[in-house]
Structure 1
């Protein structure tokens, strides 16, 4: 294990370039490997390699590694339990990536009625996305706990020592940096960022958020960047974003803002960090990450406060930032200045994060319709494809195929 963890230092995102083994893909930014080329058009009857029904419920996005698809799910433990406070087996579901065959469903921990918090109608009890690295899979269930298993689902360790009072359920996915599994614990009170030892599951460090937000809960997945040779974990939360040293949790810099229930994963592009402040009125911020201390007044390069997403993460490519708001406004802005290039109504409500494959952006709305547009300063729709099933999960790419999760199933979309 020490040899595996040591090798992770070669890449800030700890991935194999050809595999979509973490949330938002090979570099954690929603962009597929340059060799990928997936269908532009599909329907329930066209370019569907398989549709496999999934047990239980969950909105974790699919990841693909070693010829397998991994998702998490909350599977009802007792059909006769109190429906207002059900119990669940929080599980890892493993499928064959080519055939769609359900290989295994592995219960990792039980969510009891006493700790079965009410969730938002757009959330689930299994929303964080698994991480596959080397011969291990890390499966996170927010306030319920975290587990590490081998590729067949055999338990290596489990940590349930970080329970906190949630608001609206669980959310953000961890990031794996060297020998640390790092995630946010932003609940009803005492928000913080935590690192576990990836080999043992023991708590490595905890960092309290240094602001007193009125609404403390958020659900953000951190991003990992390298600035002047130093790793930074970018962890937005309510009213502030922290840049942390992954080795010890020391705060490198912070920026204050007004916002809570922060969900979109930050992106790093051309030397700037881009993020959304989420609710109530989201702003898109561009931050220079080269400072130290509180850099709110010195390193915020620009901000934009119209048609910014509350939930979907952004894409960055060449000189542009692309986004889609929760109410379906696609926007392209200049990355250096924040100047708006275009705003166009896509149609529908959006929760999943877009992906970029072979010069094309795939925006999937909550009803399961995907609008494909060409990158660049002109908004050009190439296709609209409707699966007719509700989806809040973000798509993955497996070679020349899209892997999509709906409320009930996993799809492989391939010519």
Structure 2
């Protein structure tokens, strides 16, 4: 939708959509990971605000939550509990259905008749040659009829299920290199009605897995949604995965590195069955390094998909739409090699998110055929040291958050001040318990 909005500024857009888009914030089949925890980091939220000014106010009006970071996060890292430092960034939490609806309404309203949505329609192939894509072949799901649509630019925003590598092969184009890091992570999520007296600024609760501990990595997160609900997601890697058994859900939470999530859901009321997904592998197609035909651009999860634990997918997609707009403004619509320029530029935020996700997941047994590379081990050791320092150093916590929220790139962590503080280590002692306030503890009876 964000990409369609950008393109509607310079041309007419056909948006091919397999689903029937609902009129309100309702579930639909093609919305990825919608039953599981989503975070919109400030780097992504700012990108959306730049494309659709006023979106933050609209989200606030429908009860989405702006969570200050790290003030509004209670997180147990492998190196210990993080402190809740003064706000430097933020995250937005709400259901994925709500976020999708708000953005869709804004885009279609502002673009007017420049965007045409073709619902219940699937793309089944690319048309053109190895030198230039000229359009797509579509199939209408209600009739089975196929047709060809011509276009000046074809954008694949079809997500993890993208078939662009196969379609390129039919044009005689070699598929790009692919890197996959699969920790075997399984997500299990359930909605709860939170306790009635919950503070309006209730924090994100995050018990992180330890990729270099004994046995599988297990963790969980609680985020506050609209309507005073909690979305609770538990996760575990091979040999320690959660199930869809509702009775097993609190038992699994009790086995985490700290029982805080189990203690909290014991105070809440279940509202849904347990939803499970196995689609958590990190997979990156290096389209920016491939020789692609003109007029083809791949974005979002079709380009790179990440372990959802890190919450980067939506933010990277939003930043990709901003890069598309900036490139069009800089070089002009229809300029030579426009798609290639955008593809290469998008690789920058993709690489940041990819480094965070795979730098952790690669250490789980079976995540790759060869295990961590020397470079990955060195990078992980550096990040571990920063994370340990961040448990007792506000400046280092901010530096990590600068990058985690995609506000800045990894070079932020290589600055002299950061390196010096990492050598010194934390300046405050380790916390023994989760840093909940007395008001928060009283609200949930802890």
Which TM-score applies when normalising by structure 1? 0.27
Higher share of residues assigned strand: 1
Higher share of residues assigned helix: 2
Q: Which has the larger radius of gyration?
A: 2
Which structure is richer in relative contact order (CA contacts within 8 A, separation 6 or more)? Answer: 2
